[in-house]
Structure 1
Amino acid sequence: MIDLSRRSLLGAAAVTAAAAGAVQAQNTAGNVAPADPTEVVHLWPSGAPGGENVTVTPIVPERSTDPSFHDRYAQYTTDPLLTVMRPERPNGAALLLIPGGGYRWAVLDKEGFDVARVFAAVGVTCFVLRYRLPADGWAAGPNAPLQDAQRALRLIRAHAADYSVDPARIACLGASAGGHLAGLLAVRSDATYQAVDTADEVSHRPDLTILLYPVTTLADPFAHKGSRDQLLGPSPTPEMISRWSLDQMDWTGVGPTVLIHALDDAGVPPENSLQLLATLRASAVVSEAHLFQEGGHGFGIRLIAGKPAAVWPELVQAFGRRNGWLTA
């Protein structure tokens, strides 16, 4: 349980106010959703690898009926991309955001653009990843999303100067199944695709990792079955389950990592974060965990307004300041 000190609450209020101001500046037409960023980077100049047997058609449905906010998800993605959100005053830090969706789709707003606006308001240059999904017929199978995440972070680092970013201050935030993918990005050092260009010569590993109610174990009883089924199929072997569970991996040498989870999360039980925290400690990773009494699953930013868990961005920023990601 976190200690909600007056300083933390005031800091969170300042972050919330800054983000609200950024959104309000875009809402010139009144009670409408903020405009989407328009800068987009396609990850693969000649098409994503291993798509010879892919027949899906991309869709981006809107689930919100409230004009004041979007709630979209990307499914059957064939052209993975980054959407760039540049702050008014960049501070040199970058954040790759990997939304969740159970490896069935990727939610673009709740754990993508909504979170990006909060961090962009304090000077962080943000990149929202729209990634391929493992069950869509890609030759790489469960490695297809990781190919996109590795390529995305390499592109950010290789072109850091173009974004006013320090190549040694690139963090990754993953939520839910996106947290599993962010964890793979941090812990795995193997090459999952053939180099495309000089961007693939730089490291794909983040300098700091933020895992928001992450899927970390694929083993019962705490696995998120939907994510496991989409990633490994309905009948994975014990060896496959172990090989793809973050808490069973060697995290030695991984950068600072912070975990955020609600204790009443019925979708991805908090034991996912607790078991990974034990692994991080055993691997001597600089780590921190914040567990909230309530919040459920998938709370992002909007769904916890006015609740204790609303301080999580401020807690993450404080962790980033202590560990060199944020300098002010």
Structure 2
Amino acid sequence: MRDVNPSRRALLGGLAALSAATTMASQRASAGPTAIHYGGPSIPLWPGAAPGAPKVLPTRRIEQRSQSADFDDRWLYGVAAPTLEVRRPAFQDGSAVILVPGGGYGFLSIDNEGEEQANWLTRRGVTCFILYYRLPDEGWANRGLVPLQDAQRAIRLVRHRAGEFGIDPARVAVLGFSAGGHLGGSLATRFAEKTYAPVDAADALSARPDLTGLIYPVITLSESFVHAGSRDNLLGKGASLAAAQAGSVERLVSDQTPPVFLTAASDDGLVPIANSLAMYQALLAKARPAEFHGFDQGGHGFGARLPQTVPAHAWPDLFHAFGQRHGVFKG
């Protein structure tokens, strides 16, 4: 029988299209991390040598920590020329995230806290830039500023090239892990600090993130719950209390600090959850937008690998929802 009701036909067609779109969105959001692609542009941060370069540059070395041929867990050492590794989504929501791997300022965990994070973010339409920043104990002058120099330069470059990558320069987030969380927090609180001499037009742009995510982060360099390895790699062993306090993120929160998302596990035996609590309390004291999720299980360095039976596995969805509420992520 011929359908003589065009309105009903249009309604059924619209419902079918909506159902298909919903199914595709659900698949994008829930697909497992099984197809990680390392291909993409690599953007040098600096047009020449990075600030404070030693006469003999560090030698690049990658250590494969995984025992499985199907699973990468690479640690990067010897960053002579810092870069942004671009990972573009199949569809774009116009936002960008600069991913800042951890490693105690002694190496970069480029898979667990880089590629795997880009994998779930790009499925949500986010353009990702994995920051391969310099390690301060590899001969650079002004070692305590070296990672922050690279982070400031990175966010300015992303904004400068926003049109090229189809992103909104007012929707640029930073997501840092462990010591990378210290660097992300430093960028959120020290974005206006002049850490290097401008080199081109990009350096006229703001280095302030529009949103910051700090995942099991190192925060303090001066309190009893400090992660001593990160402190010593950044500042050098025997650094003064004044230097340690000047680099402690919880002391630097201001009324200009962007919205901050924090998560950590109470069973973290490497970087105590007290770091996240100190940052959350500092944000509340300044009435800054902040969200903190403290889980009873997860340990340290869990990235996006936790099974659903472990509570902390939920943090990526919570972070994305936080970014939606603050206008950075769409959809």
Partners of 2:57 and 2:80 within 8 A in 1: no
Q: Which amino acid aligns with 1:18?
A: R
Residue pairs, 1:1-328, within 5 angstroms: 18=28, 21=31, 23-24=33-34, 26=35, 34-188=36-190, 189-328=192-331
| Cα distance in 2, alignment partners of residues 129 and 16 from structure 1 | 29
| Cα distance in 2, alignment partners of residues 251 and 37 from structure 1 | 38
RMSD: 1.7
| Cα distance in 2, alignment partners of residues 266 and 113 from structure 1 | 24
Q: Which amino acid aligns with 1:57?
A: T
Q: Deviations over 1:102-150 (max 9, x none)?
A: 0001110001010111011010000101110111111121101111111
| Cα distance in 2, alignment partners of residues 148 and 180 from structure 1 | 14
Q: Deviations over 1:139-196 (max 9, x none)?
A: 1211011111111111101111111100000000000000000111111111111111
Q: Which amino acid aligns with 1:286?
A: P
Q: How many residues align?
A: 307
| Cα distance in 1, alignment partners of residues 128 and 270 from structure 2 | 27
Q: Which amino acid aligns with 1:145?
A: P
| Offset, 1:285 | 1.0
Could you say what secondary structure the match of 2:230 adopts?
Answer: helix
Partner residue, 1:29: none
Q: Deviations over 1:58-112 (max 9, x none)?
A: 1111111212221011112111001111001100010000000000011100010
Partners of 1:97 and 1:128 within 8 A in 2: yes
- Which stretches of structure 1, 4 residues or longer, exceed 6 Å deviation after superposition? none
Q: Deviations over 1:274-316 (max 9, x none)?
A: 0111111111210010010100000001244542211101100
Could you say what secondary structure the match of 1:302 adopts?
Answer: coil
Distance 1:83 1:306, change over 3 A: farther
Partner residue, 2:3: none
| Cα distance in 1, alignment partners of residues 235 and 215 from structure 2 | 22
Q: TM (normalized to structure 2)?
A: 0.89
Q: Which amino acid aligns with 2:193?
A: D
| Cα distance in 2, alignment partners of residues 221 and 117 from structure 1 | 36
Q: Which runs of 5+ in 1 are unaligned?
A: 1-13, 27-33
Distance 1:123 1:22, change over 3 A: farther
| Offset, 1:19 | 5.8
Bigger RCO of structures 1 and 2 (CA < 8 A, at least 6 apart)? 1
Partner residue, 2:8: none
Partner residue, 2:9: none
